[in-house]
């Protein structure tokens, strides 16, 4: 059985993330979406809220689960025995960073492969930070995130 991990902060989860989750669910027998708690980032949603938002969106995909984790992704991979790490790559800048992380992870967990997937072209420009900026400025994020996420953002930001 091929089991993969899709890690990220997902603050908030976007339609691009969900597209990658759906496609990853077809590539792997099991896919775990790992919500990272990154102390270097200022989050809009808590890890618990992000997990709940993602679970609501992927509830219809039988082989996808969602958890939160605080620590190195590679430690989680080793503890749980994953075969692969799924990563979305939008730009060459993303690729450079992701490639560096993949090689570092490989040095720490040689049996784990990193699989890079290009985004659907209609979401290739999206990022959570862009969505946060639009939301904080009072803009409409509904074309970029699921309805439930848009409502949660509005409630969280007092809009």
Q: Which residues are catalytic?
A: 17, 41, 90, 128
How crowded is residue 23: how many other Cβ atoms within 10 Å of its Cβ?
16
**What values do phi and psi take at 17, rounded to 5?**
-60, -45
Sheet arrangement for strand 64-69: 64-69, 30-36, 3-8, 84-88, 113-117
CA dihedral of 134, 53, 20, 158, whole degrees rounded to 10: 0
Distance CA 66, CA 132 (A): 22
């Amino acid at each position: 059985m091929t089991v993969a991990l899709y890690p990220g902060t997902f603050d908030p989860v976007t339609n691009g993330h969900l597209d990658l989750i759906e496609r990853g669910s077809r590539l792997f027998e099991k896919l775990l979406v790992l919500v990272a708690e990154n102390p270097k980032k200022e989050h809009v949603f808590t890890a618990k809220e992000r997990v709940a938002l993602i679970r609501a969106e992927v509830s219809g995909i039988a082989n996808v689960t969602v958890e939160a984790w605080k620590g190195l992704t590679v430690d989680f991979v080793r503890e749980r025995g994953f075969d692969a790490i799924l990563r979305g790559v939008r730009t060459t800048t993303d690729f450079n960073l992701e490639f560096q992380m993949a090689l570092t992870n490989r040095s720490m967990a040689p049996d784990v492969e990193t699989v890079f997937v290009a985004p659907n072209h209609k979401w290739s420009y999206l990022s959570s930070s862009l969505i946060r900026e639009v939301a904080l400025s009072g803009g409409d994020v509904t074309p970029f995130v699921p309805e439930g996420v848009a409502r949660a953002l509005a409630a969280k930001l007092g809009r």
